[in-house]
Amino acid sequence: METVKQKTLKGSFSLFGKGLHTGLSLTVTFNPAPENTGYKIQRIDLDGQPIIDAVAENVVDTQRGTVLAKGEARVSTIEHGMSALYAMGIDNCLIQINGPEFPILDGSATMYVDKINEVGIVDQNAPKDYYIIRKKIEIKDENGSVITILPDEQFSITAMCNFDSKFISSQFATLDDINTYATEIAPARTFVFVRDIMPLLQANLIKGGDLDNAIVIYEQQVSQEKLDQLADLLKVPRMDANNIGYIQHKPLQWDNECTRHKLLDIIGDMALIGKPIKGRIIATRPGHTVNNKFARLMRKEIRKHEIQAPMYDPNEEPLMDNIRIRELLPHRYPMQLVDKVIAMGSTSIIGIKNVTSNEPFFQGHFPQEPVMPGVLQVEAMAQCGGLLVLSQVEEPERWSTYFLKIDDVKFRQKVVPGDTLMFRVELLGPVRHGISSMKGYMFVGERVVAEATFTAQIVKNK
């Protein structure tokens, strides 16, 4: 289990274009950001240059795009840029914009992806903090939209759309491998139906829309006069109102390009969850409104389970069994408190201890109500951390680890016979001069039962 690190951009990049709804000339700049920053958007054209956290709770409008706000500062049409950041694995980014919306560019996320690849991506020191889906989570709305997420080893999405149209009815699109996003999803362009354009214009929207940044679908016949007005607006030759079809400069890239774009938008709205997700999303009739409701629900779930237990399958072969652990640690019965190691990377380790009624400490702690002593819980976490540190030195059998300091110890629940303890211990920084700092968590099931921060020294045995 190699620890996946947080990522940011190697350098800054800017994109220029007009706003879809305002028609303004806009510049958006994407900058590297420190670890654990997340996504932040700064309105550099406003007094004080306010910064908006790009999280689901800050969404204030989803009429024709996702709109974030903080106080009087607003920014809209963010979903394509956010989709590219999330799909390309960027965790931390400061985005600066000189107006109220991101430029629409070509109506897809391709220009963002190309610029990200051009400047490059860099690993940071902090581990990437995935939220792992352990159970089905679902939200429905009154319009028949449903978004469901199920457990899966990676992030994937299936989108199913019904456009209430005889010309373009039901479609679906799937992204099983996020690494194919750049070629299979990012190029999909935004789209609009002719029947929706006039109301949008009356709502003072899509001032910057044209055939260079959108697929226009004429699928319900309107009067020749209305279609002529639209053709003049889009600066295209007038067409016969009896001929339904696509109004566009470029051919469709895929038959399901519209649903691929819906999938692109879902990813952009899921970026506002604030953590990368491991799970499979199935979205029926998705849209920005239900997407945002789902992102808010996910943030509530994450707050309930801020620290997640490791995944444990007792049928899988351990990375280290009891015999190997005895070769590395000097501890012996009754003080060897780690039974096996199921995963380990350069900065983290996951270990297991099965607590039985035969543990010698239960004879006196307490005979009528056996409880594992807190000091031994801390010792067990520390032994697991010792295995992590010793795995990084040559001839680990010739070294031992000793406590220098224990901080921030918390016991949240009793540990009793029959419990299976799972330890997750992470290095807080590189080992320097034989000194290591670690954070340890101990779980029973999904619950954190104890945690502590350790400082230890590696000492060569005499």
pLDDT at 158: 98
pLDDT at 75: 98
Whether residues 384 and 437 fall in one domain = yes
21, 80, 261, 288: the active-site residue: 288
Q: Where are the beta strands (DSSP E) in 117-234?
A: 121-127, 131-132, 137-140, 146-150, 155-162, 170-175, 191-193, 215-218
Instruction: Tell me which residue range forms the domain holding 196.
Output: 191-247
DSSP letters along 236-287, please? -----TT--EEE-SS--SSTTHHHHHHHHHHHHHHGGGSS-EEEEEEEES--
**Is 365 designated active site?**
yes
pLDDT at 205: 66
Tokens of residue 236, six digits:
């295209």
Whether residues 161 and 243 fall in one domain = no
* Helix, strand, coil abundance in the chain, percent, nearest 5: 25, 35, 40
Q: What is the CATH number of the domain that holds 353?
A: 3.10.129.10
pLDDT at 225: 87
Residue 416 lies in a domain: yes
Q: How far apart are the first and last CA of the chain?
A: 32
d(CA 116, CA 222): 42
Whether residues 53 and 89 fall in one domain = yes
Whether residues 90 and 198 fall in one domain = no
80, 261, 365, 433: the active-site residue: 365
pLDDT at 201: 64
pLDDT at 227: 84
Inter-residue contact 294 to 147 (CB < 8 Å): yes
The total number of structural domains that make up the chain? 3
Of 28, 30, 44, 29, whose CA–CA distance to 104 is shortest?
Answer: 28
Q: Pick from 269, 304, 339: which residue ends a domain?
A: 304
β-pairing, 51-53 vs 131-132, is unpaired
> Which CA distances in Å does 335 have to 248, 249, 325, 351, 397?
73, 74, 12, 16, 17
Residue 310 lies in a domain: no
pLDDT at 202: 64
Whether residues 20 and 143 fall in one domain = yes
**Is 288 designated active site?**
yes
Whether residues 48 and 182 fall in one domain = yes
Whether residues 200 and 119 fall in one domain = no
Whether residues 20 and 43 fall in one domain = yes
pLDDT at 189: 95
pLDDT mean by block of 10 residues, the chain; 462 residues: 87 96 94 98 98 98 94 97 99 98 96 99 93 96 96 97 84 97 97 80 68 83 84 80 82 94 99 98 98 98 92 94 94 95 92 97 95 97 94 88 94 97 94 93 96 94 84
Residue type at position 42: Q
Sequence-separated contacts (24+) of 332-336 with Cβ below 8 Å: 334/359, 334/360, 334/361, 335/379, 336/383
Whether residues 51 and 134 fall in one domain = yes
Query: Is the overall model pTM greater than 0.75, yes or no?
Result: yes
Q: What is the CATH number of the domain that holds 44?
A: 3.30.230.20
